[in-house]
Structure 1
């Protein structure tokens, strides 16, 4: 391929060699109380001191990552002000940064916060689950990053910077044992291969028992962690102007997806809510309490000899939550130094991901909303080619292009044998399957420049043109027992339009004529221009003021869902965020104090969201929708103080105010999680007006407090540390504060919950104590996370008959031993 030819023929440059050396040195540096020294980031795709970058960036270095045991996407989100992580019913992570996010759980859907490892994209959220290991640092760029990091970064970008081979032998390992019999291990070895090459191998693995307890089977556990990850990196510098880096990253994750907590029952078909669900216990404020299905307790089949339906008292195959996810990615970075003028860079990557997933979305032992088997795969090729000038002149520029080709497939089986949708009126159907195939092609051209108008003032301009095409084929079908096809052939016959009856595996979605049988084929073609303009003012060597205006886009996408109406399968169109931001960065008192701040306003158009539709057959179901107009107003401040040798304290505060707005005077209306539950003219139920609603996962206040103390005792170093994380309340869906439980037949809910879709305010505390000895080669650390055992909610949703919560883990604690040369 063109990219590989460029990579192999022109490859990596001396600039990359310098980058590797600087990155190695910066492994101990970060914008964190735990790390000290100059902070190096690559936010502009060239290494810079963080205080010289006119953007809002949070960086966490290797020492802080290790001491605070930041090993997962949840941990990264907890450590970054303004970044939120939410668990979904399909085990797909949901990222929201400064109020910009996409609460979608389909496998092949682009995020609003893009994720990279060494500038190599992980284009879909599920691919990021095991990326956080053997890192030099993590960089989180806030605000639209479309110019340099492409579309799908309307909220920002997360860059994992992996540790690289060095010119001396380095090795290390750590082993942890903690609550729930959790064993975690990490190991790495890096060495030179002669004068011009190097290699590094890193491995991370975990095995532990489940942390959730079944409310109906007290000895049953869920949530076990079982995974292994590895990364192999080779570097080669055959000439002074040429360098290559090849990386292979792979992981397998067999962890058990988290089960939800049931908090309410609201039936799709209230008169047919089954007794098992009505008797199911609700989750409690014990974070370990939950429930999940092991097997459905009956199946239904049609007796061909009698022409009727029979309930058979036997179980189906196992529905226990479990997963088997496999990921492998190969990447080649190639830089060629073009004299003293510029550097040509090629980044080529290809990834392959497969999954089998069983998850429980309803929080009960009944089969009401169970995924299994959820099959999926992703194949993605990505190429970036760019050229950037070298040197430290007044004009710094980069121009380049990107090409992506991704193919995604998801076949999500949904079991609801114990739900109200399995009833006489629907011929006791109990399982459906939703199949989505996407063929996605994107290409883009970009340019970015910075020009020093004088010694203090820098002008910044950048833009990117992106062209996207997503060809999709969607089909929802039965499970092969003939019940679904029988039902929809009857419904199709009622339309009065001729059609060919569907078979047992036929697509049942009703088309515009009200008949089933069509596979939905659609192509979403979009293009856009992302841009940024800004000014940096360097008051002195320690103080920077910046102001930026930028616009970013996120591509549209197709849903993976079950619905009887073809309109539910329409894609959402691309969204855009126009950001106005001003801020400052200041190092004071001989670098003893670091003070950063920013204020911003986001004009949000066509926000993508997973909302609800009132389905003509099954009542309230999921659908993807665009919110025409909304906005986010916010500010954040960060203070790091090092008042004494070995002591550092950091704190941060983020304020967000989000709101859905009317567009051209027209309010945004639609069904809530409980359908058309708002009152319209005449007191009749109807669609709700979302105008004025806050956006999901956007608390007004988020805050952190970190403290780290190190004391040299002569024989070793004593380490003490603690971290506080907290936020005010937020919502998990539009109108989340006004949605109340409905007193319909067979409705019931937890007595202590009045607002099911409000995520209550919470704060958690982590702590650690350790000792480093043997010339700092050995370290032992005792640590705890959520040491006060705080019950807190990360997400809330309604699936078919069940309203549920997903909650954070209880207190965990353990001990870690580590060694390095």
Structure 2
């Protein structure tokens, strides 16, 4: 039995009092009557395709939220991670290209190397988007975004053990010329531009092209360089997409190509002056008085140009053939990416934690499936899919040699260290900086086979059963380069390899799903489901497994291989109710869940080997509830919002005694939503929209020291606009109205790295947007 606390934190009342707490599925179809027409109070049906066929979201026995094009544009959801903000059960949005902080119901994959896989699956038009460096792309010319909570391995396959995000782009059509142009300008010199054009070429051919660009300065000052205007957290993104449609009778073929160039600042960290354990040790060893300067929105970092740069190319060919009894589909895709990232994770003006990652990779996939029509008493689907992924990465750590010798190892000088360890004199490296480098490469291949059946047992009772089999193979190599300085390998690694050490392993898993859905009345459904999730094992990008003791600071012995970790699995149970009441004026979705994880893959800093290691945590249990609703009491007002409660706890492995060690990094309570007032005016309507996002305090890592925290926060945005029946729209906005100060994350620290916070939120900012749609 699942039980939920009945007491709500007082900090939540401000956010929750704004609403009857509501939904991310605020879909307003493109062909909805104009705002100035007669009142249309009944909510339009939201259609999703998460189960491979179009169906009403209220009839889908999955915890799912949907955002249509208008919701994405109005709320300024700029990239795929922004969907997290307005989806119940999701957390971990940040202003970078990493996805290792994205959590669903508390589950996150925090492995930033390339030997493992994400826990969240991100898909675009049915194609898996990959990992950090390639998965995060801009949202432009989007038809719909779907966010699914809980294990989705059966529906989506690879790496959807905690959930999935499915992006559906606008496709060409042969009906008429149509398109849009969006322009915007805001504080920190933010410039936005988006355009799309649909061109019917003939009865059978159509072309759609779309482009996107945004650029802005940052809002974080680095007090390390007081004479420079080096505001961090800036961005410059350019993306384009072209789609070509061919349709003739039962055949429909779409070829799509896209490209995105991302030039962002790497995430700046701020060390805590309260971490006296680490800072006092550094002060004593170096004879200094280290103080991190600036205020809570500033940083004091020696890395003056942190980077988060990427280039992503992609092509997809999808063919659908209507065979009457089913639709045969083939999806062929290829993606390629280059990625460079750098940050100063120690968050101090000392050079003791400068990290960079240079990565490139390819991803090719093929899927063939048969899906029966979505009507009738019996429906089914079956398919096969396969992939091949290659990734290469070079990781670099930099640290001041004097800090390493004195503070890291406790010697009085680097000369004393080298004489004691090696019996050799010390020769300072260029600029006095120790540089440690390791390289990793992987070739991943796999395939899966799946099928499901859905049967209407009684007029109001539906039962579904699905099963997917997945096989993955990884051939992984790790090369820890010998240091070219007299200090040797003693900082990031206490050993080195003679070229790449390699290993190859295979894993397999099955992910069944069983659900029962009962239609209490035509627009009120209750469902229950049991689902198994699976994610393959992998290899650590920073550790090795040796057949015997490793000579300290020396070459690893023969037979050394990369350090492997096991697959993780989950059983998840859901009970949900979805309904439309009051003639469609009230729509709601309530879900309760309980899950049990085995062998959760987790990263931690091994103080004995001084490296980041991936291991399998024994068991993790979570439960909670997610509520979403849309309320449209009158023509002049509508409200959407969410409320989430999540509790997670681990058992076994990595023992710790602090209270916060019991959880995973997710807020216990969270809420978000939008309330909008509409008023017909001239040939259109004026509107005022208020958005809120509340996140309670989140739990941290398993072995938390308790110095820095991600405190709860509430942000409010206001948008005042006018939408004309002629297709144009003007909007003025204020984001973070009350100038809330919060951070996207906090790090534990330890050894020579102080506890830090990172990703300070943008302060209050204002701007305007102009939009014009034509041809609709």
For the criterion TM > 0.5, the same-fold answer is yes
Q: Which residue of 2 aligns with 1:699?
A: 667
Matches within 5 A, 1:61-76: 61-76=68-83
Whether the 8 Å CA contact 2:292–2:349 is kept in 1: the answer is no
1:597 aligns with 2:581: no
Q: Which residue of 1 aligns with 2:253?
A: 244
Distance 1:174 1:34, change over 3 A: farther
Whether the 8 Å CA contact 1:797–1:805 is kept in 2: the answer is yes
What per-residue deviation string (whole Å, max 9, x for no partner) do you get for residues 28-87 of structure 1? Answer: 78xxx9995110101101111111111111111111111111112342111111111254
Q: Which residue of 2 aligns with 1:808?
A: 761
Matches within 5 A, 1:31-42: 36-42=43-49
Q: Which residue of 1 aligns with 2:327?
A: 343
Q: Per the alignment, in what secondary structure is the counterpart of residue 65 of structure 1?
A: helix
Equivalent residue in structure 2 for 1:669, among 639, 642, 654: 654
Distance 1:487 1:135, change over 3 A: closer
Provide the TM-score with structure 1 as the length reference.
Answer: 0.80
Whether the 8 Å CA contact 1:669–1:689 is kept in 2: the answer is no
Matches within 5 A, 1:740-759: 740=706, 755-756=707-708, 758-759=709-710
Q: Per the alignment, in what secondary structure is the counterpart of residue 650 of structure 1?
A: strand
Whether the 8 Å CA contact 1:92–1:107 is kept in 2: the answer is no
Equivalent residue in structure 2 for 1:530, among 471, 489, 511: 511
What per-residue deviation string (whole Å, max 9, x for no partner) do you get for residues 660-700 of structure 1? Answer: 12xxxxx4235xxxxxxxxxxxxxxxxx3689833322221
Q: Which residue of 2 aligns with 1:301?
A: none
Whether the 8 Å CA contact 1:169–1:191 is kept in 2: the answer is yes
1:361 aligns with 2:345: yes
1:639 aligns with 2:629: yes
Distance 1:55 1:42, change over 3 A: same
Deviates more, 1:48-57 or 1:263-272: 263-272
1:577 aligns with 2:570: yes
**Cα offset, 1:793, TM superposition:** 2.0
Distance 1:126 1:26, change over 3 A: farther
Q: Which residue of 1 aligns with 2:145?
A: 138
Equivalent residue in structure 2 for 1:720, among 684, 688, 695: 688
Whether the 8 Å CA contact 2:691–2:717 is kept in 1: the answer is yes
1:654 aligns with 2:644: yes
Matches within 5 A, 1:61-140: 61-87=68-94, 91-92=98-99, 94-107=101-114, 109-140=116-147
Q: Distance in 1 between matches of 2:287 and 2:237?
A: 35
Q: Per the alignment, in what secondary structure is the counterpart of residue 77 of structure 1?
A: helix
Distance 1:270 1:126, change over 3 A: same
**Cα offset, 1:790, TM superposition:** 0.7
Q: Per the alignment, in what secondary structure is the counterpart of residue 674 of structure 2?
A: strand
Q: Per the alignment, in what secondary structure is the counterpart of residue 438 of structure 2?
A: strand
What per-residue deviation string (whole Å, max 9, x for no partner) do you get for residues 281-315 of structure 1? Answer: 15643x3x113324xxxxxxxxxxxxxxxxxxxxx
1:547 aligns with 2:528: yes
**Cα offset, 1:267, TM superposition:** 4.7
Q: Per the alignment, in what secondary structure is the counterpart of residue 571 of structure 2?
A: strand
**Cα offset, 1:106, TM superposition:** 2.6
What per-residue deviation string (whole Å, max 9, x for no partner) do you get for residues 516-543 of structure 1? Answer: 5463312232100011001000112110
Q: Which residue of 2 aligns with 1:795?
A: 745
Whether the 8 Å CA contact 2:339–2:359 is kept in 1: the answer is yes
Q: Which residue of 2 aligns with 1:472?
A: 476
Q: Per the alignment, in what secondary structure is the counterpart of residue 255 of structure 1?
A: strand
Q: Which residue of 1 aligns with 2:201?
A: 193
Distance 1:356 1:718, change over 3 A: same
**Cα offset, 1:88, TM superposition:** 9.2
1:438 aligns with 2:442: yes
Matches within 5 A, 1:410-489: 410-417=393-400, 420-423=403-406, 424=414, 425=417, 430-478=434-482, 481-483=484-486, 486=488
Q: Distance in 1 between matches of 2:121 and 2:695?
A: 23
Q: Which residue of 2 aligns with 1:281?
A: 292
**Cα offset, 1:27, TM superposition:** 5.0
Distance 1:418 1:777, change over 3 A: farther
Distance 1:562 1:245, change over 3 A: same
Whether the 8 Å CA contact 1:78–1:725 is kept in 2: the answer is yes
Q: Distance in 2 between matches of 1:276 and 1:732?
A: 33
Q: Distance in 1 between matches of 2:748 and 2:512?
A: 38
> Structure 1: where are the runs of 5+ without partners?
1-23, 295-318, 492-506, 662-666, 671-687, 741-754
Whether the 8 Å CA contact 1:27–1:137 is kept in 2: the answer is no
Equivalent residue in structure 2 for 1:230, among 240, 251, 262: 240
Provide the TM-score with structure 2 as the length reference.
Answer: 0.85
> Structure 2: where are the runs of 5+ without partners?
1-26, 33-39, 407-413, 419-425, 545-552
Higher relative contact order (CA 8 A, sep 6+): 2
**Cα offset, 1:89, TM superposition:** 9.1
Whether the 8 Å CA contact 2:631–2:640 is kept in 1: the answer is yes
Whether the 8 Å CA contact 2:639–2:676 is kept in 1: the answer is yes
**Cα offset, 1:785, TM superposition:** 1.9
Whether the 8 Å CA contact 1:383–1:404 is kept in 2: the answer is yes
1:49 aligns with 2:56: yes
Q: Distance in 1 between matches of 2:255 and 2:96?
A: 36
Aligned length: 700
Whether the 8 Å CA contact 1:89–1:105 is kept in 2: the answer is no
Whether the 8 Å CA contact 2:617–2:654 is kept in 1: the answer is no
Q: Which residue of 1 aligns with 2:9?
A: none
Q: Per the alignment, in what secondary structure is the counterpart of residue 448 of structure 2?
A: strand
Deviates more, 1:700-709 or 1:600-609: 700-709
Q: Which residue of 2 aligns with 1:159?
A: 166
Q: Distance in 1 between matches of 2:338 and 2:371?
A: 36
Q: How large is the Cα RMSD of the aligned pairs?
A: 2.8
Q: Which residue of 2 aligns with 1:626?
A: 616
Distance 1:474 1:291, change over 3 A: same
Q: Per the alignment, in what secondary structure is the counterpart of residue 77 of structure 2?
A: coil
